[in-house]
């Protein structure tokens, strides 16, 4: 009889959880593990927001920076997510690292990164992506694919070989966590869960284990 849990039987988070007092340090360790093992997009995360009626909305984005201040992604602030965050600057993030059998869940407050930080990241992007940020009216109705291609051609001609400035509406958001949960898969759904909580960004973290 093949063992359905062969791949995860000997993996455990017990050591990581026993000594963890700083959720940013534990995230850093797990993210490094993910970068070594996950085939593609270890930095992909599901971003959840709510609209003004309280209806949840979720989509994938890429983590472009993280430190003790929080988790940064970039987007068009005139998109659905951008409008939702303007009305309610709170979000949840979810990372699932399939091959590690790990999940990290984050909930927190959202603030925009500084213009200098956004400018530096925008400037590091490939030229095509910078033109794309000008050409795409993200999340609004597109009359045809051709309309998008025309917009790309227009901005390619406009910027020619010169510098491409960052559109004002395109920037980074930092999720400042108030809650971070680390989840590690174990056989028979007896998963390990460790959650860190703080009532505000300047308060100290408390931690507790959770039933799976």
Active site residues: 189
Distance from C-alpha of 107 to C-alpha of 178, rounded to nearest angstrom: 6
CB 32, min distance to ligand FMN, A: 20
Residue 122 tokens read as: 């925008």
DSSP assignment letter at 204: P
Using rule CB under 6 A, residue 186 touches ligand FMN: no
118: nearest Cα among 168, 84, 181: 168
| Contact flag: residue 71 with ligand FMN (CB under 6 A) | no
User: Judged by CB under 6 A, does residue 88 bind ligand FMN?
Assistant: no
- Considering only the stretches 31-39, 52-60, 116-124, 177-185, report the one whose residues sit in contact with ligand FMN under the rule CB under 6 A: 52-60
- Point out which span in 57-65, 94-102, 113-121, 175-183 binds ligand FMN (CB under 6 A): 57-65
Determine contact, residues 79/138, Cβ cutoff 8 Å. yes
Q: Between helices 127-135 and 145-159, what is the axis angle to 10°? A: 120
Q: Report the residue number, 13 or 45, with the smaller CB distance to ligand FMN.
A: 45
Alpha-carbon span 128 to 48, nearest angstrom: 28
Rounded Cα distance between 17 and 170, Å, is 38
Smallest distance, Å, CB 151 to ligand FMN? 17
The answer to whether 80 contacts ligand FMN (rule: CB under 6 A) is: yes
Q: Does residue 61 interact with ligand FMN by CB under 6 A?
A: yes
What residues from 117 to 176 belong to the interface with ligand FMN (CB under 6 A)? 138-139
CB 179 within 8 A of CB 195: yes
Binding residues for ligand FMN (CB under 6 A): 41, 44, 57, 59-62, 73-75, 79-81, 138-139
């Amino acid at each position: 009889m093949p063992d359905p849990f062969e791949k995860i039987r000997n993996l455990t988070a017990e050591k990581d959880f026993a000594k963890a007092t700083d959720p940013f340090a534990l995230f850093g360790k797990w993210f490094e593990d993910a970068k070594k093992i996950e085939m593609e997009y270890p930095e992909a995360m599901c971003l959840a927001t709510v609209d003004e009626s309280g209806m949840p909305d979720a989509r994938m984005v890429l983590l472009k920076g993280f430190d003790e201040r929080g988790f940064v992604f970039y987007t068009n602030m005139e998109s659905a997510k951008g409008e939702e965050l303007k009305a309610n600057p709170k979000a949840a993030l979810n990372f699932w690292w399939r091959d590690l059998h790990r999940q990290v869940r984050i909930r927190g407050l959202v603030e925009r990164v500084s213009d200098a930080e956004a400018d530096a990241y925008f400037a590091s992007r490939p030229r095509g992506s910078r033109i794309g940020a000008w050409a795409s009216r993200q999340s609004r109705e597109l009359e045809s694919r051709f309309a998008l291609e025309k917009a790309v051609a227009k901005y390619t001609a406009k910027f020619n070989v010169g510098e491409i400035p960052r559109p004002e509406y395109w920037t980074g958001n930092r999720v400042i966590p108030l809650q971070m949960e680390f989840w590690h898969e174990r056989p028979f759904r007896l998963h390990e869960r460790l959650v860190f909580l703080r009532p505000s960004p300047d308060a100290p973290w408390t931690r507790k284990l959770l039933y799976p």
